[in-house]
Amino acid sequence: MESQVRIERYADQGRCVGHIDGRVVFVRFALPGELVRIALDEPHERTDRFWTGEVIEVIEPSEFRVTPAWELAGPLSQGGGVGGADLVHVSLPGQLAWKSDIINEQMERLGHAHTDVQVRRMPEDERLGGLHWRTRIEMIADEDGHPSMRRRGTHHRVALDTMPLATESVLRIAEETHFWDGGFAPGAQLRIAVPQSLPQSTEAIGSESVETPCAPSDAAQTSPGNDAIADGSAEVPAVQGEAEGFDDYAVMVDGELTAGEYLLKESVSIDGSTWNYRVNADGFWQIHREAPTALASHVLHAAQHALNGDDSACIWDLYSGAGLFTLPLATSTSKRTSMLSIEGSKPAVINARRNLRSLDLARVDARIGDVGAVLGNVPSHLSHPDVVVLDPPRAGARKKVCERIAAANPKAIVYVACDPTSLARDTATLSASGYGLRELSAYDLYPMTHHVESVAIFTR
């Protein structure tokens, strides 16, 4: 079924809202104000609460509409449909406007907070046209063994010979390891990870640690139930580097390393100092090439501002991953900083403890477990944080965690969010617990997609 629709406003998941005979329609590849012809998705029954559809013709275009820079990710009617870039039809300024509107609308509707956030673009993204930002890519091998993505609404897999969102380093590794040539088992899960190199002109902190895992020490303290991962001595697959002159990368097939290194070297540079990390090739790390430094810098400066030069501090780092924020916070916030970091992923905590040991940070208690559960049994010397930093998954921290953070009475809460809706819901919970939104910033760390990263600061 096809219909002509006037698009009214932005919606979630990279869609816009229109109406057909009074019924809400969520439309892909549309923009507010446009008059478009759409094809409705099947099935579309009259009893459905809403319909979904996709633009097949633009009659009156928006000023923000552009020709998709990656055609395969565009509308099905134009030969696209592979996904991964749902705002590929929107100009870069239009993408910022879209994301700003979504954040402000969700904060008003769910967070009961009036905001006027303007999303910031990363420095190199305009020059690169919003492409070449992903330091990790994942695909599935098609029936012929080639890297592929599934075309929406079908079982057909489209073989790829490049990935426009991948960094130039990722594309180089793909070429040198003959990734695009295929030869994989049909259905195999494929992954390439390549850290983004930093200029070697800053003072390195912990640079010695990134070569090999350290012997166990008291630098990363253990806690009940954590003995199995306390020493960070998990087995690391041997290096198989196949890309000439370069080994800090990984190609993985069904979770097994086929080329490169399993432990990758990542670096973050802030205010003239560099922190070095080791992270698993299949583990979580901020995916935009500039995201780790941008977010860690924002978090560190927010904590420093809240502490206002105090000689000592206690900081919680929740959902702490491999220690992206933990290392700068532990070393650059006060003369004597004690920390509690909590992460649910065992491999990430192994990496975090390894990274902490590299700096001999004996005042950081790195724990594994559910954040809400661990916060119910915090050691007395860490139970009164001055600053709480949290970077929860897309679902947010949720009510129990937010209330336990507020009950600890920190001077400031620094909340890093990858989903505006979850942030808005948690904002309402924190507000009810006495913490008001003092500052909200946002970064476009996912160009060509509807995703956006926010950093919110709450105080009493």
The residues annotated as belonging to the active site are: 418
DSSP bridge partners of 101: none
Distance from chain centroid for Cα 301: 20
Q: How far apart are CA 331 and CA 304, in angstroms?
A: 11
Question: Starting from the edge strand earliest in sequence, which strands make up the sheet with 9-10, in order?
Answer: 2-6, 35-40, 50-60, 23-28, 15-20, 9-10
- Exposed, middle or buried: residue 335 (CB in 10 Å: 0-12, 13-18, 19+)? exposed
CA distance 275 to 391: 19
Q: What angle do CA 105, 398, 283 make, to 5 degrees?
A: 100
Establish whether the linkage from the previous residue to 43 is cis, with ω within 30° of 0. Answer: yes
CB 33 within 8 A of CB 2: no
Give just the sign of the alpha carbon dihedral 99, 296, 207, 279: negative
Residue 121: Cβ-neighbour burial (10 angstroms; 0-12, 13-18, 19+): middle
Strand partners, 365: 340
What is the 3-state composition of the chain as percent helix, strand, coil, each rounded to the nearest 5?
25, 30, 45
